[in-house]
Amino acid sequence: MLKRVLPLLGLLLTGCPNKETVAFSVVADGVINDPANKSLRFDLLKFGLDQFCLEMTNRGAPLKLGDEMPTAGRFFAASCQHQILDTEGRKSLVVQYSGTGYGWTNVSGRIGFEASGLVEYAPDFQVHEDAMYIYFRPQEVDASSFKTLMVESSVAKTGLSMTQIDPDEVGTKIVRGQLRRGFTVIRYNARGETDFSMGLIPKGQLPEKPYIVETTNRTNLVNDTTEVHSGQQDYIGSFEVTEDDPVLFLTAKLDGSPTVDVALVPKAGSAQMLDQYVKAPGAATMLMPPVLQEALVQGTPWQRSIQLAQGSYVLVIDNSDRLGTSAPPARPADSPAHVSYLVQRGEAD
């Protein structure tokens, strides 16, 4: 049953330092892409690997029922340590992580969980035109654990008890299985724009995205689709705003539900909400005033730009009666909202 609860536990890398861009400018693509040049290739990768844990703890990794399915939950790393092993016979990245998250299925409703693990990856990359495809192939999954913190549905709780199924044991097996898939990060330019996907994406191919974005001076932070069921929320980000790029540009479109609320919340406030959401049934309450809060209407494109103080912000999508003015249809009818969203960062137009 919990096989559908956590089908994806991804580790997220979203941007590398600019030093490797300089290195690439003086080395031909054919030399870089040659697998025989292991030392050169690993030296270039280390520029980005140093940022691995920093980015992993800053962003929530999406959980999906399939590679082309909308997001059905997220994992948020609270701690992460990494070690680069660079010897003649072993060039790899060892990551130890722990954190919390949530997922939704039609059997259990929402569950909240803790997860931790120790994974060794063999990183590699290929350069294609202006993009860098960074591959993380798992070498060993030495340990992984999964602890259920909350099962929202009382019916699901009873079913687990009667069948004597240990959700923690099942969840651990699922986490280990997903980590063995590895993942791909595609970096497009010196601004650090990236795509992330579980598994290995062939060079030259791209993940499916809801929005086609023309080249602009804005940095694309995320371009994806999420599914938020009745009474549920989703926490997207966080997104860093800087003095040089103080504006977030938000684009969204709603399908499947009449209305949902969206709120842009400072990261400190969203962290308190997320802790509620992972540990207790029902939607979380707003504990800090949002910097933006509006309703999405089905089928109506929505775009906003907002200039912000330097800091980190999280986009909350709410399909409950807890935030804002909208509310889903009364239960037992479920009205899952499908929200396509694009978040960009840049200067004021």
The domains of the chain, with CATH numbers, are 2-198 (no CATH), 219-346 (2.60.120.680)
What is the average per-residue pLDDT within 181-199?
Answer: 73
- 278: which 2 tokens? 């992972």
Q: Does 188 or 163 have the greater pLDDT score?
A: 188
**What's the pLDDT at 50?**
60
Query: What percent of the chain lies above the pLDDT cut of 70?
Result: 70
pLDDT at 19 over 80: no
**What's the pLDDT at 43?**
62
pLDDT at 339 over 70: yes
**What's the pLDDT at 7?**
33
Residue 178 — pLDDT band, cuts 50, 70, 90? low
Q: Does 72 or 272 have the greater pLDDT score?
A: 272
**Among 176, 167, 168, which residue's Cα sits nearest to residue 107?**
167
Q: How far apart are the first and last CA of the chain?
A: 49
Reported as a single tens digit per residue, the pLDDT across 201-229 is 888 888 788 998 876 788 889 898 999 99
**What's the pLDDT at 147?**
85
Q: Which of 35-44, 265-274, 299-308, 334-343 has the lowest mean pLDDT?
A: 35-44
pLDDT at 92 over 70: yes
> Do 181 and 198 meet the contact criterion of CB atoms below 8 Å apart?
yes
Is the pTM here over 0.85, yes or no?
no
Question: At a CB cut-off of 8 Å and minimum separation 6, what does 156 contact?
Answer: 1, 107, 108, 109
